[in-house]
Amino acid sequence: MRTIYPITTLFLATSLLSGQIPEPSMETAECIMCHEMATPGIVKDWERSRHARTTPAQAMEVEDLARRMSGNSPPGEFLNTSVGCYECHSLNVNDHADAFEHFGFVVNVVVSPRDCAACHPDEQSQYDDSKKAHAIANLRDNPVYHALETEAIGMKMLDGDSLSSLEPSSHTAGEACYACHGTVLEVDGMRTVETDLGDVEVPNIKNWPNQGVGRINPDGSRGACTACHPRHGFSIEVARKAYTCAQCHVEPDVPAWDVWKESKHGNIVLSESSHYNWDAVPWKVGEDFNAPTCSVCHNALITDPLCDEVLAERTHNFSDRLWLRIFGLPTSHPQPKHGLTTVLRNPDGQPLPVTFDGRLAESGLLSAEEMQERQAVMSGVCGACHSTDWVNGHFAQFDAAVAEIDEMVLKTTSLMSRAWESGLADPSNPFDEPLEHLWVNQWLINANAARYASAMNGQDLAAFKYGWWGMSTNLRKIHKEVIEGQEAED
């Protein structure tokens, strides 16, 4: 058996040889003096990061596609220091409700996307229009989804023979739905914390800690870059690995990871990833990797091995290469035009992209032309390895399969409608009876599994893991109950 050569990174070695490792600012040096004792793990993590080894000025010297910093006007005082504690935590303290005086410095607790935008403005502005950035409102402020959320995670109250759901508590919500969607960070004065260095006054932040993608920050901004670039390495390697996306995009409701893992793409990446160059910018197909992770298809800047041709531009709006939304609510539909989806109104007047029987909220969704444009971008990524004919074949199969899956959902809903009409179920809340749970599972879990499986070739999620077998079982059960309930009434 061979093993790996335990020297430090090539990046580090190169930097050391060329003598270019920058000094931290005086302020950051002072932060580190305490924090390398108080929280040594994150200090060390940062020391290995690109932020610690590059100044904004150096980052701006990098040309063309290799450039990692989209901004051209970082704050002048930080131009020639490494990007350290003070540089990020003091950037816009006047906008931050969580800013506080801390051992002589005014800093804020939560570094927000708006702060990161000082050096990375393109990423922040792309992200800001995404569904991720609106992930709280899209769930909490949508009465239909919120009713489902309440049924799912709200404490149940038994009153005599009746069982009802309370509004979800903030802590359960913060651990379940809003762990991914993000919480609203509210500052409520200060509180005293006992530490090894004595009592310290810190802002009292409610619904904290949280790294959800739609987090509302104490400066009013939306999102958390740390959801994918975890603190304090902020690594591009981590963000490019599927484990990152798999924190939220997992079975049973959003089984992207699970499908990918059992696809040929996942098979190759998981088998060969130790040979990849996870850090290269641009990311060169065939040269740096030979099969895609989530990031390759959905957001990274991808080029051919010679960097002659950009196969896909970098984007931090993760819908930019998506045309059809296969996360069916309850059926698939064109992607919404904008990230804020609570404004959608379907023909029944509900704040949903489709009606329960499949009619579209057209004005808020992509047109056929816009869909085609986005699909062309994705096809360009596929085309890096696959012939045009292969790609066309895949998408033709996908279109036909998704149409069938939607049909299965609509048939299930038509049975539910019979139940609601006949009084077998109560439509006033369509989510709070055992039969209705089965119907929710049909579209939220089983049909989504089958659609994700179709998009990314996860055969078992199409067949026996949730997918078609599950859809067939649900439909049989609902059918039996509705027909027998009907007979009982006759």
- Residue 133: C-alpha distances to residues 44, 127, 175, 241 (Å): 30, 6, 19, 21
Residues constituting the chain: 490
Stretch that binds its own copies, among 70-78, 135-143, 201-209, 421-429 (CB under 8 A): 201-209
Q: Can you tell me the distance from the alpha carbon of 439 to that of 457, in angstroms, rounded to the nearest whole number?
A: 25
- Binder among 143, 393, 423, 427 for its own copies (CB under 8 A): 393
Would strands 162-165 and 156-159 be described as parallel, antiparallel, or unpaired? antiparallel
Q: What is the CB neighbour count within 10 angstroms for residue 109?
A: 20
Residue 235 Cβ vs its own copies, minimum distance, rounded to whole Å: 7
Residue 188 Cβ vs its own copies, minimum distance, rounded to whole Å: 13
- Binder among 174, 182, 223, 282 for its own copies (CB under 8 A): 174
Q: Report the residue number, 78 or 289, with the smaller CB distance to its own copies.
A: 289
Verify binding: residue 28, its own copies, rule CB under 8 A: no
Stretch that binds its own copies, among 52-60, 127-135, 193-201, 367-375 (CB under 8 A): 193-201
Verify binding: residue 53, its own copies, rule CB under 8 A: no
Verify binding: residue 395, its own copies, rule CB under 8 A: no
427-433-436 Cα angle (round to 5): 70
Stretch that binds its own copies, among 215-223, 339-347, 360-368, 402-410 (CB under 8 A): 402-410
Stretch that binds its own copies, among 84-92, 134-142, 388-396, 420-428 (CB under 8 A): 388-396
8 A C-beta contact, residue 164 and residue 156: yes
- Binder among 272, 348, 421, 426 for its own copies (CB under 8 A): 272
For 417-420, which contacts have Cβ atoms below 8 Å and span 24 or more sequence positions? 417/356, 417/357, 418/482, 418/486, 419/478, 419/481, 419/482, 419/485
Of 432-471, binders to its own copies (CB under 8 A) are: 432-434, 437, 444-445, 453-454, 457, 459-460, 462-465, 467-469
Would strands 283-284 and 198-206 be described as parallel, antiparallel, or unpaired? unpaired
What is the SS3 assignment for 165?
Answer: strand
Residue 384 Cβ vs its own copies, minimum distance, rounded to whole Å: 4
Contact pattern for its own copies over residues 336 through 375, marking x by CB under 8 A:
----------------------------------------
Q: Which two tokens stand for residue 361?
A: 């909220």
- Binder among 26, 72, 189, 275 for its own copies (CB under 8 A): 275
Of 102-121, binders to its own copies (CB under 8 A) are: 109
Residue 348 Cβ vs its own copies, minimum distance, rounded to whole Å: 22
Contact pattern for its own copies over residues 407 through 426, marking x by CB under 8 A:
xx--x--xx-----------
Strands (E), 95-137: 99-102, 105-108
Stretch that binds its own copies, among 124-132, 330-338, 349-357, 390-398 (CB under 8 A): 390-398
Q: Report the residue number, 203 or 364, with the smaller CB distance to its own copies.
A: 203
- Binder among 309, 348, 373, 426 for its own copies (CB under 8 A): 309
144-145-149 Cα angle (round to 5): 125
8 A C-beta contact, residue 143 and residue 167: no
Verify binding: residue 241, its own copies, rule CB under 8 A: yes
- Binder among 18, 72, 274, 428 for its own copies (CB under 8 A): 274
Residue 37 Cβ vs its own copies, minimum distance, rounded to whole Å: 7
Closest C-alpha to 116, from 105, 128, 132: 128
- Binder among 103, 143, 155, 421 for its own copies (CB under 8 A): 155
8 A C-beta contact, residue 208 and residue 128: no
Closest C-alpha to 327, from 177, 471, 454, 174: 454
According to DSSP, the residues that pair with 204 across neighbouring strands are none
Q: Report the residue number, 10 or 17, with the smaller CB distance to its own copies.
A: 10
Verify binding: residue 266, its own copies, rule CB under 8 A: yes
Q: Can you tell me the distance from the alpha carbon of 106 to that of 120, in angstroms, rounded to the nearest whole number?
A: 23
Q: 302: part of which helix (H) or strand (E)?
A: strand 302-303
Residue 115 Cβ vs its own copies, minimum distance, rounded to whole Å: 18
Verify binding: residue 287, its own copies, rule CB under 8 A: yes
Q: Which two tokens stand for residue 473?
A: 């079982």
Residues in contact with its own copies, total (CB under 8 A)? 138
- Binder among 362, 386, 417, 485 for its own copies (CB under 8 A): 386
Residue 51 Cβ vs its own copies, minimum distance, rounded to whole Å: 14
Verify binding: residue 165, its own copies, rule CB under 8 A: yes
* Tokens 């919500």, residue located: 173
- Residue 71: alpha-carbon gap to chain centroid: 24
8 A C-beta contact, residue 110 and residue 96: yes
- Residue 430: C-alpha distances to residues 10, 348, 433 (Å): 58, 15, 8
Verify binding: residue 310, its own copies, rule CB under 8 A: no
Q: Report the residue number, 28 or 211, with the smaller CB distance to its own copies.
A: 211
171-173-174 Cα angle (round to 5): 60
Q: Report the residue number, 20 or 267, with the smaller CB distance to its own copies.
A: 267
According to DSSP, the residues that pair with 334 across neighbouring strands are 324
